[in-house]
Structures are given as structure tokens and as C-alpha cells.
Structure 1
Amino acid sequence: MAQDPPAQDLMHYEAMAQDALRGVVKAALKRAAAPDGLPGAHHFYITFKTEAPGVSAPPDLLSKYPDEMTIVLQHQYWDLAPGETFFSVTLQFGGQPKRLSIPYAAVTRFYDPSVQFLLQFEPPQPAEPPKGLPAPPTEPAAEAAPAKPAEGEAKIVSLDQFRKK
């Protein structure tokens, strides 16, 4: 007797769990943004994807960290503003204050080493083009400039010029 294949998760429980755990990050940042700041020895290492949609940082930082970046919120951070979908903070880089805005969806790791608390998240999925929109136009092969084939390579010939119009 054949076994039925596992049911497809149409509820997307894994995504819901990731969102709920990102709520822990948001709540921790809200406590850190309170007038008293971080209590006790608590501090945060927050790793995020720098190319995720919605990430905003100075271009020099984004070019230095083209994939992923970890920031530390401990003693020297300013204007921490946790919002509903992202947080903003000012940090010092090379002695210069720089403002970053990071969507919670871009966070891949949240760590408070003072209590060994770690949350890891799936990296954000690249944005898919909306369904129903036509594919971007491509240049017809007949209009492309012919490239000379290298020695031993096949030559590609466009047959468009021989077709009846």
C-alpha cells in the first residue's frame, strides 16, 4: 500500500513562526529604546542582509558589506527607533555617525551574549516579479551586433533575414 505524500502547508506555518520570532526582536529593541536603555549587561548583535528590500544605509557601508552586516547595540548607539516593520539607529563608523534603517524581515540573526540568547532567521527571499506582468523586452537576435566567434567555436547565424514577412 502506497503512502500518501505529505500535505502541502498552505498555512505557511514556518513563515508565521519566523514573523512571530521577529516580534521578539522588535520587543527587545523597544525596551532598548526606552529612556533607561538596555538593562544590566544586555547588548545585541544584529546581523542583517544589506541587499534586502528596504535596507537603508550610507553607500560606503553598503559597498563595504555587500551581502551581510552585523551591528552591535551596546554603549554607543543613538536615536534607536523601532517601528512596526523596521527599526532605525545611528551608530559610529570610523568616528562618523551613520544612520541605518533595517526591516525586521532583513534580520538573519539576533544575539544577546549577556544571556546567551540567540535567534536565527531564514534569509529574506529575493523579490519575485509580480505575476501577470509581461516579461521585460529582449533585443531581437537580428539586431544584435554579430560577435566574431573564437577559433574552434560555433558560429551563430540568425535566420530572421530569410523569413517571409
Structure 2
Amino acid sequence: MTTDLIRYDLLAQEALRGVVRRVLEDVMRTGVPGEHHFYISFNTEYPGVKISPRLREKYPEEMTVILQHQFWDLVVSEHGFEVGLSFSNVPEKLYVPFDAITGFFDPSVKFGLKFEPLSQQAEDKPAKPAAPASRDVPRGAASEPEISPPSRRKTDKAPKDEKIAAGEDATDDKGAEIVSLDKFRKK
């Protein structure tokens, strides 16, 4: 099995957290539209989560809040949101980083997102490769092909790259026409 060095799973999670941020930004500006309401679950142990000691004792690992009718002072930033809510008739102010969110659900339209716990994601990340010991490593960490002298086919007066650079049309090995960018721009 091939190792995913790009970590598409983490990129997708980050993008979906952006969806939550965008929804909350819209709610901050215009209020909750129609019958929409949101269940937001988050890891209470995540660094940066700010909740009262009373709530932390009651929800030591995970907590779910509902944003519908009775919340106030919603402030959304790039990294998290702050909101006022009432718990057993006691007003509380919470701050939740987006990375702490483990779930987002809007039951009015049956839309939900589940996020992997961020601590698990960090453990799953592959270790970064060690820096090269020598400065002689080519740019791109040897991912670029070595430069070799151009080979000329008997039928070509110049290699196709030279033709394209000169603004001429060329064909690739499969007979497809390659049009220079400059020629395309002139059309």
C-alpha cells in the first residue's frame, strides 16, 4: 500500500472545518436562517478551549452545544468562535477553536460532518524527512529530472521545446499538436 505523503485526509478535514467557519460567520452577520440550527460537538481538552471549570468538570472530554434561539455574542475568527450560552439558567461564555470541533450537525436539513480527533491526526502524520546532509542536492529535493542534452530526431530541425519557445507549433511523440502559449495568447 502506498503511503499518502500529501495527507489528503487532513486537507479534507481542514476544508470541512472551513465550512463550519463559513456557516458561523454568516450566522454572526445575519442570524440563524429559517429553521436551521446547529449541534456542535468539541473536545473540551483541546488546547485553547475556554469553558468554565463547572462545565469542564461536567464534560471532561467532549461537549455538544446547540446554536438555535438562545445564544448571544457570537464572534467568529479565523481560528475559532466565541459564543454566550445558558446552561441550567447560568450564562456562560465559551471559546472553541475550529480544530477542537469533532462534529457539526444541522438537523433541519439532515446535514452533518464528523471530524477525526485532531490529536489522532497528529499521531498519524508521517515524520518529515530529514534535511539533506549536503547542499549539493538539486532544487526540489531531487524530484526534478536530471538535465540531459536534447536529442534531435532526424525529421526535426529543432527539438519541440525549442520550437515552442520560438513560437512555432510542434507535435509530441503521439502526434498531438502542441501550441505555444504565446501563439495561444495572440488569438
TM-score (norm 2): 0.63
Q: Hey, what does 1:99 align to over in structure 2? A: 93
Q: Is structure 2 residue 34 aligned with structure 1 residue 33?
A: no
Amino acid at match of 1:76: Q
Q: CA RMSD in A?
A: 1.6
Counterpart of 1:59?
53
- Cα deviation for residue 89 of structure 1 reads 0.3
Q: What is the alpha-carbon distance in structure 2 between the residues aligned to residue 11 and residue 92 of structure 1?
A: 42
Name the structure, 1 or 2, with higher relative contact order (CA <8 Å, separation 6+): 1
1:144 maps to which residue? none
* Counterpart residue identity of residue 105, structure 1: D
Which structure features the higher share of helix residues? 2
Equivalence for 1:154: none
The answer to whether structure 1 residue 109 and structure 2 residue 114 are counterparts is no
2:161 aligns with none
Identity %: 52
Query: Residue 8 of structure 2 is aligned with which of 3, 8, 13?
Result: 13
In the aligned structure 2, how far is the partner of 1:53 from the partner of 1:10? Answer: 26
Runs (5+) with no aligned partner, structure 2 = 124-187
Verify: 1:24 aligned to 2:41, yes or no. no
In 2, distance between residues paired with 1:19 and 1:109? 13
Paired amino acid for 1:22: R
Structure 1: distance between partners of 2:82 and 2:32? 16
The SS at the match of 2:95 is strand
- In the TM superposition, what whole-angstrom CA distance separates every residue of 1:63-88 from its partner, at most 9, and x where no partner exists? 10001100000001001011101111
